[in-house]
Amino acid sequence: MTPASQVPDDLSNVRPALLGRAKQLAATLLSERGEASGALVARQLHEVLCALDPDDRHGFQRYLATDFQPDRTALRAAAEHYLADSTAEAAAALAQAGDPPRQELLRRMNMAPGGTSALIAMRSEITPRLRAEPELKLLDADLRHLFASWFNRGFLELRRIDWQSPAAVLEKLIAYEAVHEIHGWDDLRRRLAPDRRCFAFFHPVLPDEPLIFVEVALVEGLATAVQPLLSHDTDENVRRAQAERADTAIFYSISNCQDGLRGVSFGNFLIKQVVEELQAEFPGLKRFSTLSPVPGFRRWLGQQAADGRNRGADLLPEAETDGWWHDPARSAKLRPGLMRLCAHYLTRPSVPGSRIDPVARFHLGNGARLERINWLGDTAPRAIAESFGIMVNYLYDHDSIEDNHEHFVRGDAIVRSHDVDTLLADTELRDCSA
């Protein structure tokens, strides 16, 4: 076959043939012949896929989603056998009959050099199409199922990233930072200073690609605003002394790096292992807390006001004027109402149609406690637009993490501090509809 590097520039007549060739190679890869020479056929298939234009790649993805379904006759027979004889063996046979051939094809595609990266990229490509093309959800579900196995915790390697890390990895931090943008190399160096730590999970097949990373500030007391943590004082001796005095580790940014691995859980393992690493290095650390955004608050409040379901409507006109956070008088006027509303937003019961804030769901689900809600914790434009600048501390207390997690899973009241309860003291607000 013609390597992708030798495909002619004018593909107007070649591309239909390339798509057909890709389908042929996929069928071959799943056959007995493909099983015997899987790595070679998989490599050939990936070379052809690299030469396809986006429309033809989309056509191949639809082909994967629709043409590799379980054998209906075999599945029906296995189901009838299980209904007649509900043994463990019958259940295993039913599960095997229901396993789509597409999953085995994807496993064999993964045998090619770079196969894992290509499949991650494929899932990233189909994600925006899932709503309009629900048939692609079958392919998405199979990829997610396989990734959950291939990227389980046993395969992941935790690495500290510092200024001595390879440039290729450092560049990825700048590119993938999703919470607080890194403004070039000087900014990155500040975030890797002696009073900072950065840890990431890596996978053996993607040695220079972080999967998820967390940035940590070593401070005294509970940090309530992010701008001081992002300051550019670079005196390393001062920062080293700060690290030695620190009693609190603040997780101020957690970024998932691979969109194609969306839904594969890394963050809970990351935080717990980083806590262990930090405790070993700095025995004086007593608290482990986040300083987190509240990305869904403003959107929720706008919807509540539009529906006439709470008192946020009288705050929004002022909160939507430009620059109010720079004016102490205007800020003081907005603070009490928005802080109470945010406390309600983060603690309201989970009911159908009421989605919990995604960042809150992550940390509360991992066993953290809602510790403190901070006024103007972040005055960057994005934070003002999403949450009026409000930020939250979620506290990870080793002795209560498991209990807190169980409370959250059962749907009990959100575990929170006395400070948050004080914000909820307005009984009329407690009775607001979620």
Residues marked as catalytic: 292, 363
Residue 308 contacts by C-beta under 8 Å, 6 or more apart in sequence?
Answer: none
Give bridge partners of residue 201 from the DSSP assignment.
158, 212
What is the rounded distance in angstroms from the CA atom of residue 189 to the CA atom of residue 213? 16
The sign of the dihedral angle between the CA atoms of 171, 385, 260, 291 is positive
3-state secondary structure (DSSP) of residue 3? coil
User: ∠ at Cα 265 (260, 267), nearest 5°?
Assistant: 110
Helix/strand/coil for 160: strand
Question: How far apart, in whole angstroms, are the C-alpha atoms of residue 395 and residue 287?
Answer: 8
The two three-digit tokens of residue 198, written as one number: 């950065």
Helix (H, G, I), strand (E, B) or coil at 352: coil
How far apart are the C-alpha atoms of 424 and 421, rounded to whole Å?
Answer: 5
Looking up tokens 């700095």, which residue turns up? 282
Nearest to 197 by CA among 228, 149, 225, 158: 158
Grouping H, G, I as helix, E, B as strand and the rest as coil, residue 257 is: coil
Q: How far apart are CA 29 and CA 111, in angstroms?
A: 11
Neighbouring residues of 360: CB distance < 8 A, sequence distance ≥ 6: 292, 294, 346, 370, 392, 394
Phi/psi of residue 358, each to 5°? -60, -40
Scanning 379-417, the segments in alpha helix (DSSP H) are 381-387, 401-410
Sign of the CA dihedral 316, 378, 286, 405? positive
Of 290, 308, 306, the residue nearest 372 (C-alpha):
290
